[in-house]
Amino acid sequence: MSEDLWPPHALEHPEVDTPPVSSGPGGVTLIIPTFNESANVAELLRQLRACLPAHPPCEVLFVDDSTDDTPALIEKAAADCPFPVAVLHRDSPAGGLGGAVVEGIARAGSDWIVVMDADLQHPPHLVPELVGEGERSGADLVVASRYLPGGSRAGLAGGYRVAVSRGATWLAKGLFPRALRGISDPMSGFFAMRRSAVTGAVTGGALKPLGYKILLELAVRCGPAKTAEVPFVFQDRFAGESKSTAREGLRFLTHLAALRSASPLARMIGFGLIGLSGFVPNLLALWLLTHAGMQYLAAEVVANQAGVLWNFLLIETLLFRDRRRHRHWADRVGRFALLANADLLLRIPLIALFVDRFGLGVLPATALALVTTFVLRFVATEALVYLPRGPRAAARNRPTTRS
């Protein structure tokens, strides 16, 4: 991934990758991810000039994935700003908006980090209030919430978007009741966080952002000791169109599944639920094949592969999305299919062993064999399909970025 990073008035040598000016201890770094926001950035900087105080010192870092002239317009508007403004342009937008925020956090040198959108739906005048609330309350994370008294989601256009937002909020809080305790609006993209609460996760590679719900990622993986909230009114977009699409919704659901399955026990439970769902395509394929005239034993073998493929696609997407780079997809498919079919061959000898050697009845022996082969298949799938092949392979497949 190639990146360009420039502070204002320092473009004589654009090939030099210059870090943003740090506002230093006690300061604030405002991280603003942008994707084709050329119509909004000048007005955003104008409003920030009007509301950002001189103390604590502030800096603004745009992390830009644009394909239009947004960086050039930021440079032009930054000339009138009394605070440092920098742009980190990413040619490869890894992780989407969330990935942009994480890259911005890695560059920040201030005590406080504030994340907000560039479309002015997040009111700039609340930036000092977010940081001030954090200092007053001792919180590590301060969220601007649409759901507190005095807050509003007025800028969400249409009942459909309101329903989707509310549904996503309920789903996230239901899946992560402990991590999101005290956060009424985990879907908010407007928040302040102490850098000390997040840099360990950034430098250690614990953050795996996907899409635009970066607050959820930070709250779940970083586990801030104390949180606070301030109400805010979600504004109408100043210009342009929303980047929220059905594809982003699917990425959000995938991200939720990845976060929820982060622990081995949760992955095992997810593995089992996906395995149960595989009976549907298996039985459907069996019905189609036998009605087409295929002999039933041959149809059983072929139909089992439909269930295997179904299970593989869901496991790839929901449980091991971040581990797929360790092996080529064909290698992963082959290993997964081999393990899934070996399960059938292992189960019959196990049932015979439990019945003949330990004197179990057929039904208890079958149930115990199912549990045993399930656990073995989960462990083998994780170890033989999705773990790195060795230190050298892991290093070779690890994503790299320029600093």
Is the pLDDT at 327 greater than 70, yes or no?
yes
Please indicate whether residue 365 or residue 147 has the higher confidence score (pLDDT).
147
Is the pLDDT at 352 greater than 80, yes or no?
yes
For the question of whether the overall pTM of this predicted structure is more than 0.75, the answer is no
Domain boundaries, the chain: 3-240, 264-397
Q: What percent of the chain has pLDDT over 70?
A: 84
pLDDT score recorded for residue 211:
66
Domain with residues 3-240, CATH architecture: Alpha-Beta Complex (3.90)
pLDDT score recorded for residue 10:
34
Q: How far is CA 228 from the centre of its chain?
A: 22
- What is the H or E stretch that residue 329 is in? helix 329-356
Question: Could you report how far apart the first and last alpha carbons of the chain are, in Å?
Answer: 11
d(CA 30, CA 61): 6
pLDDT digits (tens, 9 = 90+) for 368-379: 887 888 888 888
Beta strand pairing call for 191-194 and 141-145: antiparallel
pLDDT score recorded for residue 9:
34
> Predicted confidence band at 64 (pLDDT cuts at 50, 70, 90)?
very high
d(CA 276, CA 344): 15
311, 275 contact by CB (below 8 A): yes
d(CA 118, CA 41): 6
If DSSP codes are grouped into helix, strand and coil, which group holds residue 115?
strand
pLDDT score recorded for residue 12:
32
pLDDT digits (tens, 9 = 90+) for 247-256: 666 777 777 7
232, 122 contact by CB (below 8 A): yes
> Predicted confidence band at 160 (pLDDT cuts at 50, 70, 90)?
low
> What tokens were used for 28?
């604030």
pLDDT digits (tens, 9 = 90+) for 271-315: 888 888 888 888 888 889 888 888 877 887 788 888 889 989 988
Per mean pLDDT, which range of 68-72, 141-145, 202-206, 329-333 is the poorest? 202-206
d(CA 117, CA 123): 9
Q: What is the mean pLDDT of the chain?
A: 80
Peptide bond into 19 cis (omega under 30): no
pLDDT digits (tens, 9 = 90+) for 204-234: 777 877 767 889 889 888 889 899 999 998 8
